[in-house]
Amino acid sequence: MSQNRITTLLQQDKKLLLAYYMPEFPVIGATLPVLEALEESGADIIELGMPYSDPIGDGPVIQDAAHTAIRNGVNLRTLLELVRRARQGEGCRKITAPILLMGYCNPIFSYGGDCFLYDALEAGVDGLLIPDLPPEEAEDFLERAKGFGLSMTFLVSPVTPPDRIELIDSLSTDFSYCLAVNATTGTAKLSDASTGAAIDDYLKRVRQHTKKKFVVGFGIRERAQVERMWSLADGAVVGTALLQHIATASTPEESARLAAEFWKTLR
């Protein structure tokens, strides 16, 4: 088994910029062109949403995008087929960036845990982030995912105590994902001075209690915020702002153009 793309990438000494994208948003056929546009514009890791009807960790923008994706025919099987096509270069230039799937337990368990892990690996997925899978209850699934060579990422929040940060760091295969604030995706306000000071203290605390790398997401919308997160962490994740920028597109080609246009302002 070849080394996981995420593991390989994180061996490099560079600050990461991760893109979150909901497949087949805003129109059917947008996924492969948008993936190509994001990779060409400098996305280091592409985080693909697994659309779910009740995404408890997501704000209105990603909730609406998930519902659009479901209406446009996306489920786990069609999503994995899109990843396979991206890896094979069917309908786009061959995508080589690491792909991390972000979604919730129910669809995965309904699919069948081991079946899903096998099919994800075969399609070309590199890792998983499952917000409603508590680290304390993840041992069995984590070991199964590792057996398939898939990287698992767990979440840290601003109220996570030091001992739990250390637990999450030990369980995350390659890196942890820090929520910038206690809020759903896209609803955080990072420009307030008091919020900024709190984030600084929080991420310094994470650094003190981790051995692996960590990235920061939720509320990051522009280049200055990306650079600030790079000064405190190993990477920044941008999702809601990307989806908002491409939401008005009426064709796959326009979706890709708008995605590239926005991503270049960050990178």
Is 13 assigned a catalytic role?
no
From residue 262, give the alpha-carbon distance in Å to each of 77, 88, 187, 259, 267.
29, 26, 19, 5, 9
Name the active-site residue from 24, 36, 44, 47: 47
Long-range contacts of 78-82 (CB under 8 A, 24+ apart): 79/23, 79/48, 79/50, 79/51, 80/119, 80/120, 80/123, 80/125, 81/123, 82/23, 82/24, 82/31, 82/32
Contact 78, 46 (CB under 8 A): no
Is 47 assigned a catalytic role?
yes
The number of beta carbons lying within 10 Å of the beta carbon of residue 211 is 7
CA-wise closest residue to 83 among 44, 123, 54:
123
DSSP state of 251: S
CA-wise closest residue to 176 among 131, 136, 140, 143:
131
Spatial distance between the Cα atoms of 205 and 199, rounded to a whole number of angstroms: 10
Name the active-site residue from 44, 58, 119, 126: 58
Spatial distance between the Cα atoms of 124 and 126, rounded to a whole number of angstroms: 6
**Which residues are designated catalytic?**
47, 58
